Amino acid sequence: MSLPRRLLCVITDEHSDPIELARMALRGGAGMVQLRRKKASGRELYERALRIQELCREREALFIVNDRVDIALAMMADGVHLGQQDMPASAARALLGPDAIIGVSVSCVAEAVNAAEEGANYIGVGHIFPTYSKDKPSEPLGTAAIRPIRNAAQLPVIAIGGIGHNNAAEVIRAGASGIAVISAVSDSDDPETATRELVRRIRQ
């Protein structure tokens, strides 16, 4: 399965109601929702995933699960997003099948090439700008890193990290196929409007 160009992926945070956040993001035009809930039990994650997937189906948007290949498999989600410390993309592919979307977080060319060789559909490149959504020991990559990583892997790049209304278009111009955001939507007083404005800026 291929990703649409200029895709906005909204990632749920640890504090908001993920179902309500997904609902508002989808109303705003998000093309993908990623359920990320590190502290949730397997049952809680599964139940929330089912509801969010239903919302995504209604809006013809993609739904992926962060890290948890077992949850993605059990509910037949569109795919999964993996970090460098998670199972290899090749192992996830063996479990989820050829049609699943598998994304892998990378921060350098070597990681990107490895993800491509293991069968990833896209790479999440970051963090691009300073971010407070996650603890990051390394310095931001900056937009200049996007094109070399994309060219080396020959995969679509979903850029992440510190991206908001003021710099979303810059990231697309730098070579990203889309962006992923957490706080730019979840911390907004109006997540639906925030999503709609992000979509407008990356498509302009």
DSSP 8-state secondary structure symbol assigned to residue 144:
G
The percent of the chain in helix, strand and coil, each rounded to the nearest 5, is: 40, 20, 40
Quick check: is 39 catalytic?
no
Which among 23, 105, 186, 188 is annotated as catalytic?
105
Of 23, 36, 37, 48, which one is the catalytic site residue?
A: 36
For residue 36, indicate whether it is catalytic. Answer: yes
136 is catalytic: no
> 81: which strand partners?
66, 103
Amino acid at 2: S
What is the residue type of 7? L
- What lies within 8 Å, CB to CB, of 61 at 6+ separation is 26, 30, 31, 32, 33
Q: What is the DSSP letter of 42?
A: H
| Catalytic, out of 5, 57, 134, 203 | 134
Which residues carry out catalysis?
36, 105, 134
